[in-house]
Structure 1
Amino acid sequence: MKNLLVVFTGGTIGSKQQGAGIDVNQSGSYALIEGFMNSSHYREDVMLDAIQPLNMLSENICPSDWLTLAAAIRGIDMSAYHGVIITHGSDTLAYSAAMFSYLFADTSLPIVLTASNYPLSDGRSNGSRNFANAVHYIADAGLPGVFVVYENDQGEPLVYLGTRITQAVSFTDQFGSPYDEPFGRIVERNFEWHASVRSPEPKQLMQQREALFTWEPHTLAIDTSIVYIKPFPGLNYTYYDFSNQKPKAVLHDLHHSGTACAIEEGPYSLLAFMSRCLAQGIDFYICPIKDRTDALYSSSLRLIEAGATVIENMSMEAAVTKLMLAYGIYDQKEQVEAFMNGTTLYYERNEV
């Protein structure tokens, strides 16, 4: 018999339609287990326990909620379980998956996050199947680590490493991954690895990993003094005025080719804005760039030459959460940079 712990946090998978709106509902979470017990996915070799440290829509999650959830998981007697399933809202799932991949990188059990595109009572919902496939993944594969199980629009139950899932997109509700490569999939209750030179083999996950930083619930710091900016044509940087209160760092997203506006001057100049930030002692990061040693556009090179720190081979979701951890741990920019680019906590670097 395999004992699994279900950690409910709310989200659409724990919601019910109430009038014209959708909101979290206490009974909605536990209906998930009841539905599983009465479905064709039911397994007699699995026992489910449940706790609910949070009950909220995931768009409302703040770092303090991550701390609450992390403390709840850290307080679990893992020796009593074969795995943990965290039910979560889809809006911020990719960020939470990355954060908990870092915090529990040394877990000896599978920790699986899953979600739903619609409330369970909606005929379009994939939530019950996602939950069932999370159970199957733990019961079949049992690989230690942090994962996400979620069905794509082709009806395929995909398995992602927690640091290699990117935010769901509007209109299709589909999650992505760097290079469009999931870790694997569930086929007839069994896990099949997606073989790739960029992906760890299952046997690698069975090897004991050491945590590269230590934390306790009462000392864990997740620093939010970071400003994230996404570029678009006409982005006017003069609206970012840090004269009264300044962040510790700016994390600037890039277009798919690793570029952003690098004209010399004017309100749309990232170079000018970055210069102002650096002069104020604000650290400046750009991401994602696949490989800075590869041939880059001149605009990318100009940003790097002007003082931008590149975060390589990492999704934005993995980068921003790792940066929040880094500034919570370290005081010096050199330490933060070494943590970001010199360490791999849990497969966040998509390298060959």
Structure 2
Amino acid sequence: MKQLLVVFTGGTIGSKKQGNGIDVNDAGSYSLIDDYINSAEQRDDVRIDAIQPLNLLSENMTTEDWIALAEAVHGIDTESYAGIVITHGSDTLAYSAAMIGYLFADTKIPIVLTASNYPVADERSNGRRNFANAIDFVVDAQLPGVFVVYEDDKGDALVYLATRVTQAMSFTDQFGSPYGVPYGKMADRVFNWLEHERNPRPEALITKPKASFAWEPATLKLDSSIVYIRPYPGLNYSLYDFTTIRPKAILHDLHHSGTASAIEAGPYSLPAFIANCKKLGIDVYICPIRDRSAALYSSSLRLIEAGAIVIEKLSVEAAITKLMLAYGLYDDKAQAKAFVTESVLYHEHNEV
């Protein structure tokens, strides 16, 4: 008999329809366990305990909530459990997964995040199946690490490494991954690893490296003074006035080819914006770039020449959470930069 711990945080998977809307409900989370126990997916070889450190819709998640979740997971006696399942809202699942992946990269047991597209009581919901597949993954794979399990629109229960899952799409509710490569999938309660040049082999996860950094819940800081900007034609940088309140860093997204506006001067010029931020002491990072050593467009090179710091091989979700962690850990900007661009914490570089 394997003992599992479920960590409820709210989200759609812990919500109920209330009037014309959907909201978290005190009974919603725990009713998921009852629903699972009374379903065909229920396993006879597991026992489930549960805690609920948070109860919110995930669009309302803050860095303080991440710290509360991290404190709860940190306090778990992992010798008593075969694995941990964290139920979460789908809206910010990719960000929370990356953060938990960084903080618990050296976990000795599987930590699996999952979510639901509709409240569990809705017949369209994949929540109970996602929950069941997360449990099956813990029992069958027995892989240490942090993962996401979520059923796609084809009915495949996909498994992702926590730092390699990207936000669900607005119109399809489908999660993704860089290069479209999940870590594997569940089928008939068995984990099937996807053999791919970018996926670490399962046995490589068993040999756990030492944690890249030390942290304690009482002193953990995650810095929310990070601004994220996404490019589009006509983006007017003069609307960003940081003379009064200044972020510590900016993450500027890029088009698929690793580019953004490289006009030399004027309100639409990203190089001019980067130069102005440098004068104000604000670090500007650009992401995603597949490989800095590969040939880049001249516009990309102009951004780098202007002072942009390249984060390569990371998804935006993995990059922004790593920045929040780095600038929370280090007051020295050089240390924060090295942490973001040089360290590999938990498979966030999309390569083996």
Q: TM-score, structure 1 length as denominator?
A: 0.99
Report the counterpart of residue 137 of structure 1 in structure 2.
137
Provide the rounded CA distance (Å) in 2 between the counterparts of 1:341 and 1:165: 19
Q: CA deviation at 1:226?
A: 1.0
Provide the rounded CA distance (Å) in 2 between the counterparts of 1:246 and 1:50: 41
Report the counterpart of residue 161 of structure 2 in structure 1.
161
Q: CA deviation at 1:166?
A: 0.3
Report the counterpart of residue 245 of structure 2 in structure 1.
245
Residue 26 (structure 1) aligned with residue 37 (structure 2): no
Residue 340 (structure 1) aligned with residue 334 (structure 2): no
Q: CA deviation at 1:332?
A: 2.1
SS of the residue corresponding to residue 163 of structure 2 reads: coil
Structure 1: unaligned runs, 5 residues or longer: none
Q: Which amino acid in structure 1 is aligned with residue 179 of structure 2?
A: Y
Residue 184 (structure 1) aligned with residue 176 (structure 2): no
Residue 98 (structure 1) aligned with residue 111 (structure 2): no
SS of the residue corresponding to residue 27 of structure 2 reads: helix
Report the counterpart of residue 328 of structure 2 in structure 1.
328
Q: Deviations over 1:27-50 (max 9, x none)?
A: 111111111111111111010000
Provide the rounded CA distance (Å) in 1 between the counterparts of 2:335 and 2:351: 22
Report the counterpart of residue 124 of structure 2 in structure 1.
124
Provide the rounded CA distance (Å) in 2 between the counterparts of 1:282 and 1:8: 37
How many pairs align? 352
Report the counterpart of residue 86 of structure 2 in structure 1.
86
Q: Which amino acid in structure 2 is aligned with residue 133 of structure 1?
A: N
Report the counterpart of residue 146 of structure 2 in structure 1.
146
RMSD: 0.7
- What is the correspondence of 1:60-75 to structure 2 with a 5 Å cutoff? 60-75=60-75
Report the counterpart of residue 232 of structure 1 in structure 2.
232
Report the counterpart of residue 201 of structure 1 in structure 2.
201
Q: Deviations over 1:39-89 (max 9, x none)?
A: 111111010000111100000010100111111111111111000000000
Provide the rounded CA distance (Å) in 1 between the counterparts of 2:264 and 2:341: 28
SS of the residue corresponding to residue 299 of structure 1 reads: helix
Provide the rounded CA distance (Å) in 1 between the counterparts of 2:204 and 2:77: 25
Residue 256 (structure 1) aligned with residue 252 (structure 2): no
Q: Deviations over 1:70-121 (max 9, x none)?
A: 1111111111100000000000000000000000000000000000000111
Q: CA deviation at 1:224?
A: 1.1
SS of the residue corresponding to residue 319 of structure 1 reads: helix
Q: CA deviation at 1:297?
A: 0.8
- What is the correspondence of 1:6-21 to structure 2 with a 5 Å cutoff? 6-21=6-21
Q: Deviations over 1:181-229 (max 9, x none)?
A: 0000001000000011111100001112211101111100101111110
Provide the rounded CA distance (Å) in 2 between the counterparts of 1:53 and 1:351: 34
Provide the rounded CA distance (Å) in 1 between the counterparts of 2:284 and 2:333: 10
Report the counterpart of residue 276 of structure 2 in structure 1.
276
Report the counterpart of residue 314 of structure 2 in structure 1.
314
SS of the residue corresponding to residue 228 of structure 1 reads: strand
Segment drifting more, 84-93 vs 205-214: 205-214
Provide the rounded CA distance (Å) in 1 between the counterparts of 2:317 and 2:283: 19
Q: TM-score, structure 2 length as denominator?
A: 0.99
Q: CA deviation at 1:24?
A: 0.3
Residue 41 (structure 1) aligned with residue 47 (structure 2): no
Provide the rounded CA distance (Å) in 2 between the counterparts of 1:227 and 1:27: 36
Segment drifting more, 270-279 vs 148-157: 270-279
Q: CA deviation at 1:330?
A: 1.3
- Identity level (%): 66
Q: CA deviation at 1:351?
A: 2.3
Provide the rounded CA distance (Å) in 1 between the counterparts of 2:333 and 2:30: 45
SS of the residue corresponding to residue 23 of structure 1 reads: strand
Provide the rounded CA distance (Å) in 2 between the counterparts of 1:303 and 1:280: 17
Q: Which amino acid in structure 2 is aligned with residue 27 of structure 1?
A: A
Provide the rounded CA distance (Å) in 1 between the counterparts of 2:332 and 2:296: 29
Report the counterpart of residue 287 of structure 1 in structure 2.
287
